Structure 1
Amino acid sequence: MKSKLSVIGCGYLGATHAACMSSLGFTVIGVDTDPVKVAMLSRGELPFYEPGLDTLLAQEIKTGRLTFTTDFSAIADADIHFVCVGTPQSKDG
């Protein structure tokens, strides 16, 4: 059985990573603090443009392997956690 994955942060990088890992057969839970973004992704809608991702996202949600939530406790039993949040640079690097 493949590992259960979590993706923390569902922006450009996180949502893309989540959908791609799901397409490889992993069960993936994407978690984000933005309920509007989570609702859109859960419906198979993207809050940004990435060529081809809309089709992949919808396909993976239909398989049941890919879900999104704002509830961080939902990822407590994941085997692997990917942190995909913005890390803005400061003046000193």
Structure 2
Amino acid sequence: MSPDSIPQISLGTAALVIFAVCAGFVLLRGMTRMMIGTVVLALSAWIGFRIWQLAPGLSIEHFGRSIGLVTTGLPIAGFLVSFFLIRFIT
């Protein structure tokens, strides 16, 4: 392939093409970060919800009565720990 057969483009056109490619990568990166953030938040909320369902039984099993700190604090702590742990991993 000879250099004469390559179509000539202007500097402005080349700059626009490079800008469009970079903008595409930025949009793709932003969408990926948003999706990962949504999945992390949903997974952490699900873990907190599951702990919230199990906490009253655990409180009665270990302390013989329902303790408010266990039934509300444990799910909140589970949500926060799982959220920060998953964010640290990703």
Q: State which structure, 1 or 2, has the greater radius of gyration over its C-alpha atoms.
A: 2
Same fold? TM cut 0.5 = no
Q: Higher relative contact order at CA 8 Å, sep ≥6: structure 1 or structure 2? A: 1
Q: Give the structure-1-normalised TM-score.
A: 0.24
Q: Give the structure-2-normalised TM-score.
A: 0.25
Structure with greater helix percent: 2
Structure with greater strand percent: 1
